[in-house]
A and B are shown apart, each in its own frame.
Chain A
Amino acid sequence: MCGIASLQLRDPALRGSLGLLMHGMLCGIVDRGLDSAGMALYGDPGLTPAGTSTVTLLDVTLDPEALAAQLRGVLPAGTEVAVRMFGETTLVNASVASAALETAVAELLPTAHIAGRGEHVAVLKGTGHPLDLAAQYGLEGISGSQGLSHTRMATESAVTASGAHPFTVADDLCLVHNGSFSNHATIRRQLRAEGVTFDSENDSEVAARYIAWRMNDGDSLTTALEKLGTVFDGFYTLVVTTPTSMAVVRDPIACKPAIIAETDAWVAMASEYRALAHLPGIENARIFEPAPGVVYTWTLDSTKELVTL
């Protein structure tokens, strides 16, 4: 089944309440997936401090202080490093470019799984009840411009933190999926031939890699998702986010649910209306189901608002 809830806050006055609003939305999708969950939180000054890059790690064998000390040893002198644990997730911030941080982490911890990267987004995921995970992450206290959450009922691969969504395979680009792809093995092979590398046998990761590959080639988020619709076979409702955009698409026969609500202050998408029912101003929101096979994209007016949070 799986549940999705995503929220883009247009009104800066609401951004202090991002986590609180997302927690309310999460409560509405918990029943759809109880084995594991994850979230992508954009613009929280605590999780992703300005001037740092952020990497999310799973399967880390070192304690946070030891990892921080070792990173300071290999990163340029004077680099600020912070390492925190949120359940199964280890979050690393450092005042270097994300590629440099990722390389350093991969060398120090070759068996760790890099589940998130970027400058603006913190990806947190794990196994267990989604509301227990939200408590571990301190979700209700988070601020920011945009957030994406997913509750998983696993079908195509194992129940692990790395199998939980979102999938973040390129800087600040996050994907969640409700459904299953039937031709993911074929597309994975084709992408490998193009030089794309994979972390898992998960079908949703293939979609994330495909979109990152297309965008790396210069496609916009919307174009990449439109092309995905011509290549991927299966059931899907996808939500894909960048620091300034949020896009939603359903497969052409609309097997998986999605509902969108939009006001001047925010735009929200969820698997079910009950996840939207408690958003402020919902009574006057424009509420609709996205049409099958159509890509919907919303972009924040100014990236500056995000950076100055």
Chain B
Amino acid sequence: MTALTSTLTPIQTFDLESATVRELNAALHEAADATSWVVENPAGQHNIAVGIDREVDVTVNGHVGYYFAGMHQRGTVTVHGSAGVGLAENIMSGTVHVTGDASQATGATGHGGLVIVDGNTGARCGISMKGVDIVVGGDIGHASAFMAQAGRLVVCGDAGEGLGDSIYEARIYVKGTVASLGADCIEKPLRAEHRAELAELLTAAGRDDDPALFKRYGSGRTLYHFAAANSHAY
């Protein structure tokens, strides 16, 4: 990224105290590839930097509100601050990085790309994730990776109650403790290939945690098919 930055055109600054979020987003949607943007005074506003489909580098100084960088497609977006509900919701590809904390539903339904939160996230981190990679430096809240379908969730702190409830697939790595596992989420062996992919993800997130200290969790695959023995429950 450092090598790329040196080739970028001059940085364009957007001050959200004077400009609107719609103006910013419209400009980002039309931006030329390989341009750099700095956004000042976000003041917790919603929907900042949603739907970016250009190879841009966006830096936001301050805290952002709901659905920051939702539907992100290309480029790198960094928040020097914290983010509200639904950070990078439905991200398709590209990178979204928050240096502080994020609220609930971080990376919800994400199809691809990388979401990095240096601090903690609230509940439902990676809910219904469909291929996104999420790396959290701190703890995650309850009901995270609920109905996760694909992708990787890396947690360097602790996980709250009901981790991976009703998980289809996706791989979850947790370094700290897990308050409880949800239905059909089980601990699985951390083999060499898992340590390798974990090392790759941690490096991509700029972290130096030791992959060997993590545990891996995933689907027990017992909820895939209807079991006649459960018919009395319906």
Binding site for B on A (CB under 8 A): 28, 253-254, 257, 259, 272-278, 287-289, 292
Binary interface profile of B, 183-201, with partner A (CB < 8 Å = 1, else 0)?
0000000000000000000
Q: Is B103 an interface residue (CB 8 A)?
A: yes
The answer to whether B85 and A274 touch across the interface, beta carbons within 8 angstroms, is no
Q: Please give the number of chain B residues whose Cβ is less than 8 angstroms from any Cβ of chain A in the complex.
A: 18
- Distance, CA A282 to CA B82, complexed state (A): 13
Q: From B102, which residue of chain A is reached at the shortest CB distance?
A: A289
Which of B44, B84, B123 sits near A254, CB closer than 8 Å? B123
Task: Given A254-B142, A273-B44, check contact A289 B65 (CB 8 Å).
Answer: no
Out of B44, B123, B143, name the residue touching A272 (CB < 8 Å). Answer: B44
Overall SS of chain B's interface: loop
**Among candidates B45, B85, B101, B143, residue contacting A257 with C-beta atoms closer than 8 Å:** B85
Contact A273 B65 (CB under 8 A): yes
The answer for the CA separation of A253 and B82 in the assembled complex, in Å, is: 22
Q: Do A274 and B122 have beta carbons less than 8 Å apart?
A: no
Question: Beyond A254-B122, A254-B123, A292-B123, is A277–B63 a contact (Cβ under 8 Å)?
Answer: yes
B82 touches A276 (CB 8 A): no
**Nearest CB in chain B: distance from A285 CB, A:** 11
CB distance from B45 to the nearest CB of A (A): 6
Tell me if A274 and B43 are in contact (CB < 8 A).
Answer: yes
Give residues 46-78 of B contacting A (CB, 8 Å). 46, 63, 65-66
Q: Tell me which residues from 98 to 154 in chain B have a Cβ below 8 Å from any Cβ of chain A.
A: 101, 103-104, 122-123, 141-143
Task: Using known A-B contacts A254-B104, A257-B103, A289-B103, determine if residue A273 contacts B84 with beta carbons closer than 8 Å.
Answer: yes
Residues of A within 8 Å of B122, CB to CB, are 254, 289
A66 to B113, CA, bound (A): 69
> With A and B bound together, what is the CA distance between A154 and B103 in angstroms?
25
Residue from B44, B46, B65, B143 whose CB has the most chain A CB atoms within 10 Å: B44
* Chain A nearest CB, measured from B119 CB (Å): 10
Which residues on A sit within 8 Å (CB–CB) of B84?
A: 257, 272-273
- Are B63 and A273 in contact, CB atoms less than 8 angstroms apart? yes
| Chain B residues whose C-beta falls within 8 Å of the C-beta of A257 in the assembled complex | 84-85, 103-104
Measured between C-beta atoms, what is the minimum distance from A138 to chain B in Å?
A: 26
A273 to B85, CA, bound (A): 10
Q: Give B68 Cβ to nearest chain A Cβ, in Å.
A: 11
A293 to chain B, nearest CB (A): 10
Q: A31 → chain B, closest Cβ, in Å? A: 9
Tell me which residues across on chain A come within 8 A of B65, comparing CB atoms: 272-274
A275 to chain B, nearest CB (A): 8
A78 to chain B, nearest CB (A): 52
- Whether A254 lies near B141 (C-beta < 8 A) is yes
6 sample A-B contacts, Cβ–Cβ < 8 Å, listed by A number: A253-B143, A257-B103, A257-B104, A274-B46, A287-B82, A289-B103
